[in-house]
Amino acid sequence: MAKKEQTDPARQFAFTRQNYKLLIIGVVIIVIGFLLMLGGKAESPEQFNPDVFSFRRITLAPLVVLFGFIFEIYAIMKKPKKTESNQTSS
């Protein structure tokens, strides 16, 4: 008869260490995207600063933020790989 591993449901976590690392990386990517959006302010309200509409603020930064959110979804959905120590042998 095969020996069944009894695992305590309270000790099982939804995420592994790798999931948490990926989540932190995703948050850092999102923060970088928001930091890319900073700046472009005019010195006075009467002046117009065309730097507000730069490629970095209008195109690059939102794409970086979007990639960060997609990366977060991947980090949440990633399943841990099964290793030999986790499998029961007969």
Per residue in 56-81, pLDDT tens? 999 999 999 999 999 999 999 998 87
> What is the pTM for the complete model shown?
0.74
CA distances 87 to 15, 16, 18, 28, 83, Å, are 18, 17, 19, 34, 7
**pLDDT score at 10:** 61
Do residues 68 and 25 lie in contact, with contact meaning Cβ atoms separated by under 8 Å? Answer: no
pLDDT of residue 83: 65
Rounded average pLDDT per 10-residue block, the chain, 90 residues:
60 85 97 93 84 92 98 92 59
